[in-house]
Structure 1
């Protein structure tokens, strides 16, 4: 890690690209998840007052919870659409230009959200949140492609961490702005929801000064001169002919590899275990409770018995825990391995959920148990972020070969947003009906995912996609596994014969 930090000093424009691309990329995704939570009470009041003024109808609690859940969850529907639109957008207009244009979507959504209370229209909240989701869906793909293609080879690991860290910082920023001392009040909450526009404007001003992705300029547009100019701007006045030749070799290699469609991915038997692994882990990423806790952190802490005036600060502590754990994940992932981190994360969070259910059930008998529940929620966030979250996000690019990588990424993006929508819609109902037992749902997901990884997924550390594919095949093909075992035993048997004979 220290070596990467030292290397960053030699590439100041890459550092600038990391920050500028992040504020309109994965940062917006994190801010969109956590920024809606602090004003939840005021949003529900707006919905209720609007229905009384228009229709003279006072909503029941379940009706209010349903509308609130839809305001939260429509973000995921927009994200799913955005992830679909991102594919042609980044290919036609470029990674940088896609990020620039995407900021106008965030600004349009912010205008609607800021105006919703003045207009007494909760429908504007629906549309605004939907546009935020579209912005996040496009931004996730464009940011990932832009910064990884702008970074030199020796900084790929550091850049990968910044992509995940930007999500964490975005979540933390939403919680921080939601404090009563800042924007979390009855008068200022629309500005909290619309604060994404500030970062969109910031990127609109700064990103045009950075070059387009060098790989896009050469691979997609065939403009070698523009590629070399971009490399000079990003990496300094050095000879970059070697890097250009590597990109050209990649272009030649890709000409012989046909990208498979999503339907071909589902039909191809040779990648069915990779597809199952990606699908199950991505579903577990949403259904394990991580984003449910963020979406409804105030409701979770209320259920845990935390006093109302302390809830915003407890929610802020969640973001702090996740930022610390993202640093820890970067430090240990190469030493421990991805499968070990997944298993350790699922096992630890399962134990935490069991203890958390017990403390929630008995919290009425002792006040201090409420604070134990809060600590356990922090422990869950820290453990899951340091393990499964850091491993699952880049999984499609690790376990699929080039032919299936694009379609696998699209499938995982769809699963991610679908899972986010399901969690957003169902979690309030679970809290209301199951109360202290709501975390048992997440417990079952973690246990099931952990068992699947243990029995069905090989270790992926320091292996190429082809080597991982061979390991999957060896793990699940009994006849081939027995042949390999026989070949491994044969030399030892031969050597024992010779040692006995001589």
Structure 2
């Protein structure tokens, strides 16, 4: 506004004080809104949540360690505990932990929602410490089986809780990168078990040390969780909003708390602490996301990854490569793929990595089919077998390995997240068990060409499934993902 002499004057002077006040309120509101937009546009510092994520992934390290801890020492264990040559007993020592893992996994969701994520980690570490101690001191097969079963319950509880926790405490901009830490920690655990087992043939009773060593990271996990942040999502679900804000401040920084809480309240309500029933996961509006998670884990196992691990030693042995070098090569391929996945997860996205991972695994299986062909012989067949296996493990680690456990808690609604993760990961353990149980028999009856062709077909089915059903979650808040996937009531 201008006067007759061309001088500007303020319109506020022509207004009553009440109107002047309201205009000022509008301006202040606009400024605050702009500040909120600036906070939204600026990603929180990833370093605040980093130590909490690292501590949590110790559960994944222990998972990998206990998967591999009996591989090298099994022969020594069987001699010392007087069941050498009893293949059933040897198989039980290896597989009893899988039974415990299934039970631990089935209850993991209810435990994580009942006592919180931090205490669930401590409950995961406790049976691992007790079970490993029993295994390290036992003088009987029964004691070993009890110890392995207890360790297994912790193994089943751990992966579910770590997937939940990492997803819920990580900023959206680095959630994929931090999710990759889970797979990397598992790889390091496997490699650690193999490394610790090296002196097994030279030192009598060294296998007992292998079990004792695992109690150190388990004890540290239980202790360090006292100082880690609780999941703000869990706290809000319990109606503890003030505590949720305090934890967001620890994880994201004070300037991001209000925006994070606003996002959290879009769909979640603090009074929804009622028990989730199994029927809610299998029908109605939640069925689609539970279906996607379950099928991803089933396809992951039916792709043949465990079969490749089981059969790799004999293939490398036929190529003249010692078993310890075999384990190192497989471990390096697994770790290298996992590290690359960590770098690419928040750049290319989950869906792209899944697509190319399953496609690469299909090509790898076709190399195995070619190696088994009667027209290919000698060194060419061995190179195809060895190269195909290493490529299979590498491409698996790029996406099919780490992505499902990261994607699953991302796509699941907050109210059912813990229980649905437990249900879907139970599918993983069931298929893991049956693939391990049936693989060698199927290989003998069907032959390598047909069996590996089936695995390649499953990988291509996985490509089609991912393309049709999986949405990209890169950089999105958990609430945005829920809105995109879940039909609103």
- What interval of TM-score do these two structures reach, taking the shorter chain for normalisation? 0.7 to 0.9
Aligned partners of 1:39 and 1:184 also within 8 Å: no
1:272, distance to aligned residue in structure 2 (A): 5.5
Moved more, 445-454 or 189-198: 445-454
1:131, distance to aligned residue in structure 2 (A): 1.5
2:462 alignment counterpart = 449
1:114-153 → structure 2 map (5 Å cutoff)? 114-116=136-138, 119=139, 121-153=140-172
RMSD of the alignment, in Å? 3.8
Moved more, 406-415 or 364-373: 364-373
**Of the two, which has the highest radius of gyration?**
2
1:96 aligns with 2:118: yes
2:282 alignment counterpart = 266
**Structure 2 CA distance for partners of 1:410 and 1:142, relative to 1, 3 Å:** closer
**Structure 2 CA distance for partners of 1:360 and 1:196, relative to 1, 3 Å:** farther
State the TM-score, normalized to the length of structure 2: 0.76
1:5-404 → structure 2 map (5 Å cutoff)? 14-23=49-58, 25-45=59-79, 49-50=82-83, 59=86, 64=87, 66-116=88-138, 119=139, 121-178=140-197, 180-181=198-199, 187-220=205-238, 222=240, 224=242, 226-227=243-244, 229-231=246-248, 233-234=250-251, 238=254, 241-242=257-258, 245-246=261-262, 249=265, 253=269, 255=271, 261-268=277-284, 274-294=289-309, 296=310, 300-306=312-318, 310-333=322-345, 336=348, 338-359=350-371, 366=378, 369-402=381-414
**Structure 2 CA distance for partners of 1:461 and 1:140, relative to 1, 3 Å:** closer
Aligned partners of 2:237 and 2:272 also within 8 Å: no
Q: 1:464 aligns with which of 481, 485, 488?
A: 481
1:135, distance to aligned residue in structure 2 (A): 0.6
**Structure 2 CA distance for partners of 1:288 and 1:453, relative to 1, 3 Å:** same
Aligned partners of 1:345 and 1:383 also within 8 Å: yes
- Find the aligned partners of 1:425 and 1:345 in 2 and give their Cα distance: 25
Aligned partners of 1:99 and 1:139 also within 8 Å: yes
1:166, distance to aligned residue in structure 2 (A): 1.9
- Find the aligned partners of 2:50 and 2:201 in 1 and give their Cα distance: 30
1:85, distance to aligned residue in structure 2 (A): 2.7
Q: Which runs of 5+ in 1 are unaligned?
A: 1-6, 52-57, 471-502
**Structure 2 CA distance for partners of 1:41 and 1:441, relative to 1, 3 Å:** farther
- Find the aligned partners of 2:202 and 2:52 in 1 and give their Cα distance: 31
- Find the aligned partners of 2:394 and 2:233 in 1 and give their Cα distance: 36
1:128, distance to aligned residue in structure 2 (A): 2.0
Aligned partners of 2:371 and 2:381 also within 8 Å: yes
1:351, distance to aligned residue in structure 2 (A): 2.5
- Find the aligned partners of 1:151 and 1:338 in 2 and give their Cα distance: 16
**Structure 2 CA distance for partners of 1:402 and 1:81, relative to 1, 3 Å:** same
1:473 alignment counterpart = none
- Find the aligned partners of 1:149 and 1:399 in 2 and give their Cα distance: 12
1:468, distance to aligned residue in structure 2 (A): 4.3
Report Cα offsets for 1:392-434 as digits up to 9, x if no partner.
2234344455566455323211101111222333334445666
- Find the aligned partners of 1:311 and 1:257 in 2 and give their Cα distance: 51
State the TM-score, normalized to the length of structure 1: 0.74
Aligned residue pairs, count: 440
SS of the residue 1:394 aligns to: helix
1:411 aligns with 2:429: no
Aligned partners of 2:239 and 2:270 also within 8 Å: no
Q: Which runs of 5+ in 2 are unaligned?
A: 1-42, 475-479
Greater helix content: 1
- Find the aligned partners of 2:235 and 2:465 in 1 and give their Cα distance: 41
- Find the aligned partners of 2:201 and 2:182 in 1 and give their Cα distance: 27
- Find the aligned partners of 1:115 and 1:182 in 2 and give their Cα distance: 16
SS of the residue 2:317 aligns to: coil
Report Cα offsets for 1:227-263 as digits up to 9, x if no partner.
4554555556x45652574377258646579886332
Report Cα offsets for 1:276-295 as digits up to 9, x if no partner.
4433321121222223444x
Aligned partners of 1:219 and 1:251 also within 8 Å: no
Aligned partners of 1:90 and 1:98 also within 8 Å: yes
- Find the aligned partners of 2:246 and 2:273 in 1 and give their Cα distance: 28
SS of the residue 2:70 aligns to: coil
